[in-house]
Amino acid sequence: MANVGIVIVSHSPKVAEGAADMVRQMVGQEVPLAWTGGNSSGGLGTSFEAITDAIHRAWSEAGVALLVDLGGAETNSEMAIEMLAEEKRGRVVICNAPIVEGAVIAATEASGGASLATVRRTAEELSP
């Protein structure tokens, strides 16, 4: 059975890469993982095209959970989800959770075979 994939979306490529590195060190290769951050010129920002690509890289039949850092990342993630094929759209969710802690706990849940709904709920329990 496939594990839920995790995508980390940050305005900063260094933050996204660092969070992904923490996930890999905590759960190894058990979970499909991708990250994206920054704009096309290397500055702060996000791109729905890059987010779409990250979703495809972390794709799992079990679904994909996105962790985002700021409002623009969430907006672009929503756009990326809308652009997915209809059969994939319903299996991608944005978690309302802190990006680093949420990604680590979501990946830990996913590595144990938890459902997309459980991965999302567990990550969102971290929100204040």
Active-site entry in 3, 6, 8, 11: 11
Whether the Cβ atoms of residue 64 and residue 91 lie closer than 8 Å to each other: yes
- Residue 82 burial (CB count, 10 A): 10
What is the distance between the alpha carbons of residues 87 and 1, in angstroms, rounded to a whole number? 19
**Would you call 11 a catalytic residue per the annotation?**
yes
Helix H, strand E, coil C: the string for 28-69 is: CCCCCEEEEECCCCCCCCCCHHHHHHHHHHCCCCCCEEEEEC
Catalytic residues: 11
